[in-house]
């Protein structure tokens, strides 16, 4: 793993030293050296920066002030000649704090700490992506095409003889498909979809207003028939605050 980094210091000799250290470190890639904190703001908009080696005492804008502006855009390792800034540095969530004069072993130790942080973050993200449930969907034939419809986007379904209309979030027209309500109902997860009428199936996660024996979707009112009322009311009562 390679980290894109900036070195920021108003002293040319300090920049030269840090640049030499970065060049000696295989997993660091120097994107730029900056003589002021203000230069960093423009670079962050133009490049993807992982890590900033940042001096604290600088004119116009201090390193501490800059770190608060940077926020989560990049991680910070402070470099300074003044030990009293150490506590303040950790308060702004810096990864590490290097006290000048900085030796290469100290620099390398801080750089490895940054590398470990990024590797752990990447592993955590990868694990989250692997364990994140895939969006459930169905495929239906409509107008000689096979359409993928995410179940979470379905508001309700209306049955009309041998075909159905599937009303989907943010769509002005329903998806029309030649399929029976019974066949479609068997494809849908019972935990989220419920038959409320011979002609209607609703996505329970989309139900926000129930008025008497009707479910309200904007200007559309769907009746809850006596045949399906008991099962629907069981769901409502489980979610009701009493």
116-158 pLDDT tens trace: 999 888 877 666 555 544 558 888 888 888 888 999 899 999 9
* Phi, psi torsion values for 82, nearest 5 degrees: -115, 115
If you average pLDDT over every residue of the chain, what do you get?
Answer: 85
Spatial CB neighbours of 33, under 8 Å, sequence gap ≥ 6: 6, 7, 8, 15, 18, 19
Cis check: omega of the bond before 101, within 30 degrees of 0? yes
User: Cα angle at 48 between 47 and 50, to 5 degrees?
Assistant: 130
Q: Could you tell me which residues are beta bridge partners of residue 222?
A: 215
242, burial (CB in 10 Å: exposed 0-12, middle 13-18, buried 19+): exposed
4, burial (CB in 10 Å: exposed 0-12, middle 13-18, buried 19+): middle
Residues in the chain: 242
Domains defined for the chain, CATH in brackets:
3-131 (3.40.50.2300), 137-239 (2.40.50.1020)
**d(Cα 75, Cα 96) in Å, to the nearest integer?**
10
Single pTM value for the model: 0.53
186, burial (CB in 10 Å: exposed 0-12, middle 13-18, buried 19+): exposed
Res 242: pLDDT: 52
Helix (H) or strand (E) holding 130: helix 104-131
**Average pLDDT of 203-221?**
87
**d(Cα 142, Cα 75) in Å, to the nearest integer?**
50
Res 128: pLDDT: 58
């Amino acid at each position: 793993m390679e980290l894109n980094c900036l070195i920021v210091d108003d002293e040319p000799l300090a920049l030269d030293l840090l640049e030499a250290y970065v060049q000696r470190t295989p997993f660091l890639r120097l994107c730029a050296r900056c003589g002021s904190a203000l230069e960093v703001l423009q670079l962050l908009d133009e490049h993807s920066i992982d890590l900033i080696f940042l001096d604290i005492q600088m004119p116009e804008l201090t390193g501490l002030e800059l770190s608060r502006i940077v926020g989560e855009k990049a991680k910070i390792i402070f470099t300074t000649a003044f030990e009293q800034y150490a506590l303040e540095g950790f308060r702004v969530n810096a990864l590490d704090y290097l006290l000048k004069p900085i030796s290469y072993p100290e620099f390398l130790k801080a750089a490895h700490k940054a590398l470990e942080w990024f590797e752990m973050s990447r592993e955590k993200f990868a694990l989250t992506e692997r364990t994140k449930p895939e969006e459930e969907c169905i495929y239906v034939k409509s107008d000689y095409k096979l359409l993928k419809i995410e179940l979470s986007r379905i508001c309700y379904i209306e049955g009309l003889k041998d075909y159905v209309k599937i009303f989907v979030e943010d769509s002005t027209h329903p998806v029309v498909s030649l399929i029976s309500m019974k066949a479609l109902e068997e494809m849908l997860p019972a935990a989220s979809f419920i038959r409320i009428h011979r002609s209607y199936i609703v996505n329970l996660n989309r139900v926000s207003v129930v008025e008497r024996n009707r479910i309200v979707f904007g200007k559309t009112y769907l009746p809850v028939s006596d045949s399906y009322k008991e099962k629907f009311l069981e769901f409502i009562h489980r979610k009701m605050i009493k």
